[in-house]
Amino acid sequence: MPGEAQPPDSVSKSGAPVKQGDVLDGKYVVERVLGVGGMGVVVAARHAQLGSRVALKFLLPEAAADGNVCARFMREAQTVTRLTGEHVARVLDVGTLPTGAPYMVMEYLEGRDLGRILEERGALSVPDAIDYLVQACEAVAQAHAAGVVHRDLKPSNLFVTRGADGSPLIKVLDFGISKAMARGLEDSQLTNTSGFLGSPQYMSPEQIRSAKHVDMRSDIWSLGVILHELLTGRPPFDAQTAGAVLANIIGDSPPPPSALRPEIPRELDAVVARCLEKDVRQRYATVGELVRDIAAFGRPATVVAATKIQKILTQSGLGPDVEALTELAPQPEITGSHPAFVPAPPAAGAQTLGSWEAAHKGAPSKGLLLGLLAGGAVVVVLAVVGIGLAVRGSRAGDSEAKSVEPIVTTAAAATPEPEPVVVPDVAPVVTGEKAPEPLPSAAVGAEDAGPTPVKRPVRSGGGSKGSDIEKLIKDRK
């Protein structure tokens, strides 16, 4: 529970380079551990003079000894400070321990991430799923406008807290492996060729081959995966092993969300399908285009948020002219029976990917349009699956979580009356980097009234494609 005392040595036992009661920089008093991952740890602290609570993010000693990891850690802090929107978890300060290891001071968040909510409650209602995704898209739009590609979007990096008015507020976490498109050589130096950056189930085909050569359309792929999972309770690409997951991403087309939940509008099937086009040229070019096609399925406030996203992109040269902002995708009747729906084409005046790359990188990249996974790339992928910082928040109070709203299965007007959205009351969890979540292996369903939960599959094997990939690794060793 918030503020619950822990044994004095609990912080040091976590592997953190500090202990409970330590005072950093003369003002941050270490209190307790909030989460530990493979390479990092986050602790709660209190400002000695102001009394405000913050989260301190550290590298574990082994990671702190790696200069490249430290450089990426500090680059994350620099990246986040450039993104000032309400949907990005803020970095307030940075510091250095006596050992020379860096740390971040971040805003302290109470709530839970969408990954945890999906594990416990299953699929969300259509309005909730759209509202959450559009909020995330606002943070992503701001990042793209600044020339930054996140590269690790997933439900566990979308944190649900409360806004000033008490309404659900999404915060995008973990820009630790983000890519600044203008960095060029510097970025390639920080991204070692043996490093696997990303979470397998949410990675685009081009990111599987090379994390260095991705653009904002890779984030759009990840947003499509997230949308599918929010609507159905399961990711579109799932298998027993990471190798099989990656093989499915490269070679398979997932079933549409409505195949798992018939009440889902066919229009959203088309949106997910376009996000998950393996040819990057066929995907939405910007998050603005994606939001234009889904905003009508959210609540009225979602359309307002969509307009804000378009303005963010327009100001950076990535979106339509302001005059076109009112021309959002027409408000459809949500009946789940519109297979002929075609997602909106790029808005007039939108900047092309080529001009975006030129603006942020200096010249169009020749390696952006990547084909199928090359055999050599698989060796890199499977040799180091799971790299990254992880922060698993305290699970205290999870039993008090409230269920998501039931999904409306009857035809509804395109602009429904606002429905209250409940944010579960849970122990505080803070921002920070997270390692890829374990591939789910148990069925998860909603406990309260609502849609029939979609079970997460229990996988009995990796499939022949995954086995072939793993065999290839053995042959190359």
Look-up: residue for tokens 């920089």?
A: 25
Q: Which residues pair with 32 in a beta bridge?
A: 44
Q: Which two tokens stand for residue 259?
A: 């195949």
The answer to whether 267 and 330 are in contact (CB under 8 A) is: no
CA distance linking residue 460 with residue 458, whole number of Å: 6
DSSP 177: T
Enter the tokens of residue 228: 């599918």
Residue type at position 359 = A
Task: Tell me if 228 sits within 8 A of 264, measured CB to CB.
Answer: no
Q: What is the 3-state secondary structure (H, E, C) of 321-379?
A: CHHHCCCCCCCCCECCCCCCCCCCCCCCCCCCHHHHHHHHHCCCCCCCCCCCCCHHHHH
152 is catalytic: yes
CB 105 within 8 A of CB 56: yes
Of the listed 113, 152, 219, 269, which one is catalytic?
A: 152
Do 419 and 168 meet the contact criterion of CB atoms below 8 Å apart? no
Beta bridge partners of 112: 160
- State the catalytic residues: 152
